[in-house]
Amino acid sequence: MEEGVVNEILQGPLREVFDSTQLLTDVSGSGNNWAVGHLTYGLAYREQIVDKLRRAAEHCDCLQGFFIIHSMGGGTGSGLGTRVLSLLEEEFPSVSRIVTAIYPSTEDDVITSPYNSVLAMRELSEHADCVLPVENQSLLDIVNKIKVMADGAKPGSVIKRDSTIISGQGGLTGPEKPFDAMNNIVANLLLNITSSARFEGSLNTDLNEIAMNLVPFPRLHYLVPSLTPLYTLADVSVPSRRLDQMFSDAFNKDHQLIRADPKHSLYLACALMVRGNVQVSDLRRNIERLRPTLPFVSWNQEGWKTGLCSVPPVGHSHSLLALANNTCVKPTFIELRERFNKLYRKKAHLHHYLHVEGMEQSLFSEAVASLSSLIDEYQLLDASKGRLTPDAARLSIAT
């Protein structure tokens, strides 16, 4: 809802890629106010948005899914973004909606980000098919780790050029801007998720398969992403060990895109999307090796979705994206609720929201209630160790 960012893209090297009629900008922005984004601009631009979406959809032979990418802490991204999400559900109910949401870190500079995030969470829980939460702090940690590796320069451990997940592949960009490295990681996440749909492989995995396999209950659709490898060393790689290391790393906290601890929480489902020259025997061997260390829910003990794509990403010989539906997102949500409550108790900044036409205080309480019930659902799974019902007796047949 402000012109600066979009104009920059239009003047940058990717200007040919974007259709200029499919852009929507306003002048003054949303002031980090979810209500302004969701209600004011949502109403004002509804027609235009629906029109542009329809136009884009008509160009497709077969529309499989929508990617919605926005932050949770701001005004436009979280507010207007979630409005677009519910518009998509209305207009294209059978097309899956996958949201990549950037959650604010604890040291966030937007004061009202807890309000925006919680109000947006409710929309995500209700209207999205699948959410990939990403935290800026984790991205920053990964960037720093790579920089340390690059600068440390132990002999024999020089990083191959253009092979980190933060380097701008293809070298299109000019001077690097501060968030570019972090955004590159998220871009790589989206590349890997769509790789099987774009390239061939011996075990293809489409986007709708991901939504199908990783979402056992409609509201529990928050998937923790983790990417490996972060970089490729320039020296000759040791094949097998490097490969196994890649699988172990995927379950390492350092490679996750949100700060959470899946190994000590309960896995509901896990997807491994492998790219490159990896065979099914390597995959099986690693699954068998890692399986005993990961706590899976009782009714999904072998809950693995695997995908093999033959084409590796640029600069790597193979890569792995792990998506886990895990109760470890519960602490993240609890923290979010805490920050929200801290502000809400004092009614701080509330007037900015209530001034907006259509906004009521009840929306706040409903949003936090929705978040609480989501947390409770995860809590229930955790508490019962995933054993929702005792092992049901099998049907017996009269003989």
Partner 1 sequence: MSVVSVQLGQCGNQVGQELFDVLCSDAQDGQRNKYRAISCERFFHQTDRGAELEARAVLIDMEPKVINRCVSRATKCSRWSYGSSSHFSQKQGSGNNWANGFCVHGPRHRDVVEEMVRREVERCDRLSGLMALMSVAGGTGSGFGTYLTQCLRDAYPTSFIINHLTWPYSTGEVIVQNYNSVLTLARLYQLSDAIVVHENDTVHKICSQLLNIKHISFSDVNRVIAQQLGGILQPAFTTHSHGFYSRSPIDELVSSLACHPEYKLLSVSSIPQMPSSSIAFTTFSWPGLLKHLRQMLISNTKMEEGIDWQVRPPSGAGCTGSGFNRSVANLLILRGKDVYSTETSGFEEPSLYSSWLPSVEALNVWKCPVPFHKYEKSATLVSNSQALLRPLDHIVAKAWNMFASRAYIHQYIRYGISEEDFLDGFTALEQVISSYKQLC
Kindly list the residues in this chain that would bind partner 1 in the complex (CB under 8 A): 61-62, 64, 200, 202-204, 206, 208-209, 211-218, 268-269, 279-282, 284, 287-288, 291, 298-306, 308, 388-389, 391-392, 394-397, 399
CB of 316 to partner 1, least distance (A): 18
Residues in Cβ contact with 153 at an 8 Å cutoff, skipping those fewer than 6 apart: none
Of the CA atoms within 13 Å of residue 396, those in its CB half-sphere come to 4
CB of 54 to partner 1, least distance (A): 19
DSSP string, 348-383: TTHHHHHTSTT--HHHHHHHHHHHHHHHHHHHHHHH
β-pair partners for 304 = 270
CB of 264 to partner 1, least distance (A): 22
Give whichever of 129 and 135 is closer to partner 1, judged by the CB atom: 129
Give whichever of 30 and 265 is closer to partner 1, judged by the CB atom: 265
Residues in Cβ contact with 308 at an 8 Å cutoff, skipping those fewer than 6 apart: 196, 201, 202, 203, 274, 278, 279, 280, 283
Give whichever of 291 and 352 is closer to partner 1, judged by the CB atom: 291
Give whichever of 214 and 368 is closer to partner 1, judged by the CB atom: 214
Give whichever of 38 and 127 is closer to partner 1, judged by the CB atom: 127
Burial of 291 (0-12, 13-18, 19+ CB in 10 A): middle
Q: How many residues are present in the chain?
A: 399
Give whichever of 38 and 275 is closer to partner 1, judged by the CB atom: 275
Euclidean distance between CA atoms 308 and 200, whole angstroms:
9
CB of 327 to partner 1, least distance (A): 14
User: What does the DSSP 8-state code read for residue 39?
Assistant: I
Q: In 3D, which of 188, 330, 313, 195 has the Cα closest to residue 259?
A: 330
Give whichever of 191 and 215 is closer to partner 1, judged by the CB atom: 215
CB of 319 to partner 1, least distance (A): 18
SS3 203: strand
CB of 4 to partner 1, least distance (A): 37
Residues in Cβ contact with 288 at an 8 Å cutoff, skipping those fewer than 6 apart: none
CB of 323 to partner 1, least distance (A): 11
Q: What distances in angstroms separate CA 257 from CA 38, 102, 138, 140, one per listed residue?
A: 27, 10, 5, 10
Give whichever of 33 and 96 is closer to partner 1, judged by the CB atom: 96
CB of 83 to partner 1, least distance (A): 24
Q: In 3D, which of 80, 74, 141 has the Cα closest to residue 103?
A: 74
Give whichever of 20 and 399 is closer to partner 1, judged by the CB atom: 399
Euclidean distance between CA atoms 72 and 77, whole angstroms:
7
